[in-house]
Amino acid sequence: MEINIFQMYPDLLNLYGDLGNVTCLKKRCEWLGIQANIVNFSINQEVSLQEGDIFFIGGGSDRGQSLIYSHLQKYKKQLEELIDENKVFLAICGGYQLLGNKYIDAEGNEMPGLEIFDYETKSEEGRLIGNIITENTLGLKPDTLVGFENHGGRTYHDLQPLGKVISGYGNNGKDEKEGMVYKNCIGTYLHGPLLPKNPHLADYLILKALERKYEIKSLDKLDDKIEYSAHEKVIKLYSPR
């Protein structure tokens, strides 16, 4: 079995080591005996998106974001179709914001998004920074997701969230929602080592890609003692008392 992981704009969207999540997917595939090919897609490095099984879009500074926002517009329809065909997407922070209608930065400049989902993000005073714990809505065990967030943008929507906030801010610091899920497309504000600290989410993404391509229904269990000790540590340190 073989999957292609498209790393979108690795030169412009890689805040807090977000690309480590792609390394994590590749490594887990290797341990599971699945060939994973990493394909880079960027400005002046465009390749056909049709071959992708998993698409990873990391977070970016407002500058990086504005560069790719205009570039990606010509792929809008294609990306929308790929999401509808159940391809797997993981979009972090700036990447997550991009899938909505627009992002309005701290100076009030508007960047049109891909309008795939009906939400917008507005930067407000005071960044939402820190460790975060949520309860996932995907039915994964353990039911928690842990991570780190750092965003000025506030996103509001009525879609299925990825998690219910237990501790931290999430989409906007108000409605206790974190991220979004639509088919196999996940948006989230959880930066950095999201997948290494949440191996159940990593395997969920791999399984969804394999299910679609090869009708595989389950994955072998890996030894995730170290990964879950990191997961547990975040819960121990940052759970509300």
The residue number with the shortest CB distance to ligand GLN is 59
What one-character DSSP code corresponds to residue 103? Answer: E
65 scored as a contact of ligand GLN (CB under 6 A): yes
Among 14, 57, 62, 200, contact with ligand GLN (rule: CB under 6 A):
62
At 121, list the tokens: 């993000």
Among 54, 91, 94, 146, contact with ligand GLN (rule: CB under 6 A):
94
Query: How far from 47 is each of 6, 39, 55, CA to CA, in Å?
Result: 10, 8, 13
DSSP SS3 for 146: strand
Span from 21-29, 43-51, 54-62, 158-166 in contact with ligand GLN (CB under 6 A): 54-62
The β-bridge relationship of strands 163-167 and 120-136 is antiparallel
Nearer to ligand GLN, 88 or 91 (CB): 91
DSSP SS3 for 67: helix
Q: Minimum Å distance from CB 211 to ligand GLN?
A: 29
How many helices and strands (H and E) does the chain possess?
7, 12
Nearer to ligand GLN, 59 or 100 (CB): 59
Nearer to ligand GLN, 147 or 210 (CB): 147
Among 151, 157, 200, 208, contact with ligand GLN (rule: CB under 6 A):
151
Nearer to ligand GLN, 60 or 179 (CB): 60
The residues annotated as belonging to the active site are 93, 191
Residue 127 assigned to a binding site: yes
Q: Report CA dihedral (206, 209, 213, 216) to the nearest 10 degrees.
A: 50
Residue 1 near residue 34 (C-beta atoms within 8 A)? yes
| Span 199-228, contacts to ligand GLN by CB under 6 A | none
Span from 32-40, 145-153, 180-188, 206-214 in contact with ligand GLN (CB under 6 A): 145-153
Residue 151 near residue 127 (C-beta atoms within 8 A)? yes
178 scored as a contact of ligand GLN (CB under 6 A): no
The residues, ordered by sequence, that sit 6+ positions from 143 with a Cβ below 8 Å of its Cβ are: 135, 136
Helix %, strand %, coil % for the chain, to 5?
Answer: 35, 30, 35
Span from 59-67, 162-170, 173-181, 215-223 in contact with ligand GLN (CB under 6 A): 59-67
Nearer to ligand GLN, 34 or 93 (CB): 93
Span from 46-54, 73-81, 146-154, 230-238 in contact with ligand GLN (CB under 6 A): 146-154
For CA atoms 94, 99, 100, 102, the dihedral sign is positive
Residue 40 near residue 10 (C-beta atoms within 8 A)? yes
147 scored as a contact of ligand GLN (CB under 6 A): no
Q: Which residues bind ligand GLN (CB under 6 A)?
A: 15, 59-60, 62, 65, 93-94, 123, 150-153
